[in-house]
């Protein structure tokens, strides 16, 4: 492998990942043999210019796509050996997602959006709502349970998205360009929140980003170029 984690339990192991896409009869090579491991509790940014493969990497780790070749192991499970149902269960139980576009359900309130993953896991409605309220408070949104996305600012919506990702206490949070739609002050507040949650809960965070602020917050910075790891640094 051409890049490794810092040691300890490895929650993500990507080995020789290749991902090709067909676009108008042309093969686009998004990843060209990328290898990377991430240890439990890391706060890692995967950075690079557009087209470097960082979002593709997150999609493969998040079981939203499958590699052309190579392997991905998440939480000790080889994703290539899992059925569609098993992959869906792995996503529900082990991984939380934070997207740059928030991806909140417009017709649901904040507490309903946060509760949604718990409902999918079979949690009772009352217990799910109580946990979701507590999580909204923990991300700085007390009293906003009944607000719908259109009634909230971008920063508030991103906090709801973070609460939704964290409420099921996943081992891994994958954040794809989470500050892209935020002003610098709000972006810093969001990153401080995630760093604090990482420190308190021990949740593994992996970001894809081209935002210098995210890179500065990360304790490990992995730089991609042309679908492979170009360099990495640990603070």
pTM: 0.88
Q: How many CB atoms lie within 10 A of CB 94?
A: 18
Number of domains in the chain: 1
Whichever domain contains 88, its CATH number is 3.40.50.300
Q: Kindly state whether residue 4 falls inside one of the protein's structural domains.
A: no
Q: Kindly state whether residue 150 falls inside one of the protein's structural domains.
A: yes
- Of the pLDDT bands very low, low, confident and very high (cuts 50, 70, 90), residue 5 is very low
What pLDDT score does 8 carry? 52
Q: Kindly state whether residue 5 falls inside one of the protein's structural domains.
A: no
Read off the pLDDT of each residue in 194-216 and give the average, rounded to a whole number. Answer: 92
What digits encode the pLDDT tens for the residues 40-81? 999 999 999 988 999 999 999 999 999 999 999 999 999 999
For 195-209, b/e burial (b = at least 16 CB within 10 A) is eebbeeeebbbbbbb
Q: Kindly state whether residue 62 falls inside one of the protein's structural domains.
A: yes
With tokens 């899992």, the residue in question is: 82
Structure tokens, 156? 């508030």
Q: Kindly state whether residue 3 falls inside one of the protein's structural domains.
A: no
Q: Which domain holds residue 152?
A: 10-234
In this predicted structure, which of 63-67, 167-171, 216-220, 222-226 has the lowest mean pLDDT? 167-171
Average pLDDT, the chain: 91
């Amino acid at each position: 492998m051409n890049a490794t984690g810092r040691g300890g339990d490895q929650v993500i192991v990507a080995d020789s990942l290749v991902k090709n896409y067909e676009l108008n009869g042309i093969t686009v090579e998004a990843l060209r043999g990328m290898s990377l491991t991430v240890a439990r509790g890391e706060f890692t940014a995967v950075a690079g210019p557009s087209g470097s493969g960082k979002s593709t990497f997150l999609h493969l780790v998040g079981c939203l796509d499958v590699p052309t070749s190579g392997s991905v192991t998440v939480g000790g499970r080889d994703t290539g050996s899992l059925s569609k149902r098993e992959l869906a269960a792995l996503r529900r139980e082990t991984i939380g997602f934070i997207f740059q576009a928030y991806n909140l359900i417009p017709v649901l309130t904040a507490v309903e959006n946060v509760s949604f993953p718990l409902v999918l896991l079979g949690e009772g409605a009352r217990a799910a709502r109580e946990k979701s309220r507590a999580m909204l408070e923990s991300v700085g949104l007390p009293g906003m349970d009944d607000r719908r996305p259109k009634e909230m600012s971008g920063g508030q919506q991103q906090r709801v998205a973070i609460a939704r990702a964290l409420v099921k206490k996943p081992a891994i949070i994958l954040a794809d360009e989470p500050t892209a739609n935020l002003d610098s002050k709000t972006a810093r507040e969001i990153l401080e929140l995630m760093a604090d949650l990482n420190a308190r809960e021990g949740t593994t965070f992996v970001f894809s980003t081209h935002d210098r602020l995210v890179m500065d917050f990360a304790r490990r910075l992995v730089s991609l170029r042309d679908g492979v790891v170009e360099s990495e640094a640990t603070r």
